[in-house]
With several copies, the nearest count.
Chain A
Amino acid sequence: MKLRYFAWVRERVGKTEEEIDPPEGITTVAELMSWLTARGEEYAHAFENPKVVRAAIDQDHVRTDAAIAGAREIAFFPPMTGG
């Protein structure tokens, strides 16, 4: 699946997107965030306060308990500040 990062999550991770293949046991957005955190300092920095990071699956806002099965694209970003 494709991961996309925006705003300061993107800056901290250091990339705009990437393809990943998480292990079988990772079934929710929250678990995916924990798994990413363990991948390196840049991820640990991006997800150091997971409560403030928002997620979207296939371009729909989701809560972090949402299942990731079947997702083509998961995005992580800070609270929105448009308008």
Chain B
Amino acid sequence: MSAVIRLQNEPFDAAREQAALTCGRDDIGAVVTFVGICRGSEAGLRIVAMTLEHYPGMAETELARHVESAQQRWRLAGVTVVHRVGRILPGEPIVLVVTAAAHRQGAFAAAEFLMDYLKTRAPFWKRIEYADSTAWVAPRESDALSADRWSGPADMREAAE
């Protein structure tokens, strides 16, 4: 099992991260890559930039714990999580999650689990700069619902594995 977790200011190269995860392995049948991107507008307002604040120390520790938990739950061959912090422009990537496994069900479930965690529990906060104002992003109800999936009894996707 390989796990890469990085917080960084710079943009990342999803293709390079994915290649690093699968390089030299022949036990991987499925790779799921999620890239979150800064959109150019929100509710009709043009976005100038987004700033990601985080809780140094806690963010890394918590993320490592959730990656470890995903690895065990879905028997992953590898995971890479890269989360940017600092100022991000529209069109730039914000977050990368890559999961690799023998079969796709585990790879998909683990990627969704990690994204749900990052959206709802990981200590990161987004502030959006509009042309004339700034605003802290409010949590989305759909993210909370999505995250609730993982705390219940084993879901269909696990049964399907």
A and B touch in the complex (CB under 8 A): yes
Q: Interface residue count for A (Cβ, 8 Å)?
A: 17
CB 8 Å contact bits of A1-13 with B (1 = contact, 0 = none) = 0001011101000
Q: Across the interface, which residues of A come within 8 angstroms of B61, CB to CB? A: 59
The answer to whether A81 and B95 have CB atoms under 8 Å apart is no
Looking at chain B's contact residues, is the secondary structure mostly helix, strand, loop, or mixed? mixed
User: Is A80 touching B58 in the complex (CB atoms < 8 A)?
Assistant: no
Interface residues of B, CB < 8 Å — how many?
29
Q: How many A-B residue pairs have CB under 8 A?
A: 71
B119 within 8 A of partner (CB): yes
B74 is an interface residue with CB less than 8 A from chain A: no
Residues of chain A with a CB closer than 8 A to B95's CB: 82-83
Assess the B119–A82 pair: CB atoms within 8 A.
yes
Within A45-83, which residues are at the interface with B (CB < 8 Å)? 56, 59-61, 75, 77-83
Do B94 and A81 touch (CB < 8 A)?
no
